C-alpha cells in the first residue's frame, strides 16, 4: 500500500518545488538515486541536444483517419493546431528528397511544445479509455498471474500516461482572452490526477510507473551505444561542424546513461519458455502499434503529435532491449551490412520521449511547495 501527500506553500515568493521519495518495484533503486543522477548528470546534456536541428525536427503524418470510430471530433481551438516546418533549409530539403512519405510533414518540436491546449471532455477521455480497455482485455488476464513481463507492460503505458498528465498540468492554459494567453502550473489539476485520496490510491502508483518507464528508456540508451558510436552513424543536418559536435554530445550522454549503477535488469523479461517469450514480444509489438493507431483518433493535432512521438519512442526503446544479441554482434567493419539498425525517426523519437520523462519533475518543481512521498506503509 502506498500514499501520496501533497501540501501547498502559502508564499509564492519563496519559490516552489516537488519532491518524490521512496523505493521502486521490480528494480534495486529508489527515487532519490534516480533524481540525483538525472538532475546532476543527464538533464543538462539532454536538453542541449534536443535543441539541435537533428532532434528538434520530427517527421509525422498527422492526417491519418481514425481507424476505430467515425465520430472523432477535431479540436477547433488555435492552441490545438500544429505549426508545420517548410523545407527551406538544406537539411530539410534533402530529407524531403530522400525520405519517401508524401503524407508526412516535418514539425519543429520547439515551436510546438507539449502542453494543455483546452482539448478535454468526452473525446479526450475516449482516447485513454480505448488504450486501456481495448489493449488490456488480454493484458488484464496476464496481470492476475503477476508475470513480470505482463506487469512491466502495464506499468510502461501507465508511466507514459502519467508523463503526459504532468506536462499538461505544468503547462496549463490558465487564461485565454483576446489580448493574451497565460500558461502556467495548475496544482489542482495535478492533485486530481495524482493525489492518493482523490484517485482512490492510484496516484502514487502512477508516479512510480513513470520512474519505471524512465529506467526502461535509460537502459535502452545505454544498450544502443555500440550502434550510435560507429563512425558510419552521423547526425546529418548539412552543417558538418555542428553535426560532429552534436554527435560528441550524444555519445557523452549515452556514456553517462551507461554509467548508471542500478540499471533495470532486462534479462528478467522473456527469460522463460522461448516460444512463450516470442509470443509475448509479438504481443508487445502489436499492442504498441495499436496504441499508435489510437493516437490517430486524437482530435487535438498538437496532442496527437506528442502522443505519437512518445509512443514511437517507447516502442523504439523496447526494440533495442529486445535486440541485445544483434547489437552485441554488430560487425566491426564500417562497410559490413548491419543486422540491427534504427531509422532517423526512431532515434529522434527515442531521445525526445526520454526528454519528456526526464523533464517531468522539472515542469512542476517550481509551482508550489508540493511534497510527494511514495513508500510502503
**Residues that are catalytic:** 300, 303
Question: What CA–CA distance (Å, rounded) separates 214 from 264?
Answer: 10
Question: What CA–CA distance (Å, rounded) separates 44 from 38?
Answer: 9
- E strand or H helix that includes residue 163: helix 148-170
Q: Which residues of 3-12 are buried (b: 16+ CB within 10 A; e: fewer)?
A: bbebeeeeee
φ, ψ of residue 72 to 5 degrees: the values are -75, 110
3-class DSSP assignment, residue 238? coil
Q: Annotated binding residue at 158? A: yes
Q: Which residues of 111-128 are buried (b: 16+ CB within 10 A; e: fewer)?
A: ebebbbbebeeebbebbe
**At what angle are helices 202-223 and 240-258 packed, to 10 degrees?**
120
Q: Annotated binding residue at 117? A: yes
The conformation of residue 30, written as its DSSP 8-state character, comes to B
**With 0-12 CB in 10 A as exposed, 13-18 as middle and 19+ as buried, what is 227?**
buried
Please report the sign of the dihedral spanned by the C-alpha atoms of residue 39, residue 45, residue 46, residue 47. Answer: positive
Contact yes or no for 230/330 (Cβ under 8 A): yes
Question: What CA–CA distance (Å, rounded) separates 361 from 365?
Answer: 6
Question: What CA–CA distance (Å, rounded) separates 236 from 240?
Answer: 8
Question: What CA–CA distance (Å, rounded) separates 362 from 91?
Answer: 32
Q: Annotated binding residue at 185? A: no
Please report the sign of the dihedral spanned by the C-alpha atoms of residue 47, residue 48, residue 49, residue 55. Answer: positive
Q: Annotated binding residue at 171? A: no
CA distances from 141 to 43, 137, 144, 146 (A): 38, 7, 5, 10
Q: Annotated binding residue at 128? A: yes
Residue list, annotated binding site: 115, 117, 128, 158, 161, 193
Residue list, annotated binding site for FAD: 115, 117, 128, 158, 161, 193
Amino acid at each position: 500500500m502506498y500514499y501520496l501527500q501533497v501540501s501547498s506553500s502559502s508564499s509564492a515568493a519563496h519559490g516552489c518545488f516537488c519532491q518524490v521519495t521512496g523505493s521502486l518495484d521490480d528494480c534495486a533503486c529508489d527515487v532519490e538515486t534516480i533524481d540525483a543522477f538525472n538532475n546532476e548528470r543527464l538533464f543538462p546534456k539532454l536538453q542541449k541536444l534536443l535543441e539541435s536541428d537533428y532532434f528538434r525536427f520530427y517527421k509525422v503524418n498527422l492526417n491519418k483517419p481514425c481507424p476505430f470510430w467515425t465520430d472523432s471530433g477535431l479540436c477547433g481551438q488555435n492552441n490545438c493546431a500544429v505549426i508545420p516546418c517548410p523545407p527551406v533549409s538544406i537539411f530539410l530539403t534533402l530529407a524531403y528528397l530522400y525520405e519517401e512519405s508524401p503524407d508526412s510533414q516535418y514539425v519543429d518540436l520547439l515551436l510546438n511544445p507539449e502542453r494543455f491546449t483546452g482539448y478535454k471532455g468526452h473525446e479526450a477521455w475516449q482516447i485513454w479509455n480505448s488504450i486501456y480497455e481495448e489493449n488490456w482485455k488480454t493484458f488484464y488476464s496476464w496481470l492476475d498471474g503477476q508475470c513480470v513481463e505482463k506487469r512491466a507492460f502495464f506499468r510502461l503505458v501507465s508511466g507514459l500516461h502519467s508523463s503526459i498528465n504532468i506536462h499538461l498540468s505544468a503547462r496549463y492554459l490558465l487564461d485565454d482572452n483576446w489580448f493574451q494567453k497565460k500558461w502556467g502550473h495548475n496544482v489542482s489539476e495535478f492533485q486530481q490526477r495524482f493525489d492518493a485520496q482523490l484517485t482512490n490510491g492510484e496516484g502514487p502508483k502512477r508516479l512510480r510507473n513513470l520512474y519505471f518507464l524512465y529506467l526502461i528508456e535509460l537502459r535502452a540508451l545505454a544498450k544502443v551505444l555500440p550502434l550510435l558510436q560507429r563512425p558510419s552513424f552521423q547526425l546529418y543536418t548539412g552543417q558538418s561542424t555542428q553535426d560532429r559536435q552534436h554527435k560528441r554530445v550524444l555519445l557523452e550522454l549515452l556514456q553517462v546513461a551507461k554509467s548508471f549503477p542500478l540499471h533495470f535488469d532486462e534479462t528478467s523479461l522473456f527469460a522463460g519458455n522461448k516460444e512463450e517469450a516470442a509470443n509475448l514480444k509479438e504481443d508487445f509489438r502489436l499492442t504498441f502499434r495499436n496504441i499508435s493507431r489510437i493516437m490517430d483518433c486524437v482530435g487535438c493535432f498538437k496532442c496527437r503529435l506528442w502522443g505519437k512521438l512518445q509512443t514511437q519512442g517507447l516502442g523504439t526503446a523496447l526494440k533495442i532491449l529486445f535486440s541485445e544479441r544483434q547489437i552485441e554482434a554488430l560487425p566491426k567493419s564500417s562497410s559490413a551490412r548491419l543486422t540491427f539498425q534504427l531509422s532517423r525517426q526512431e532515434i529522434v523519437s527515442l531521445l525526445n520521449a526520454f526528454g519528456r520523462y526526464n523533464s517531468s519533475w522539472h515542469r512542476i518543481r517550481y509551482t508550489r511547495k508540493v511534497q510527494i512521498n511514495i513508500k510502503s506503509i
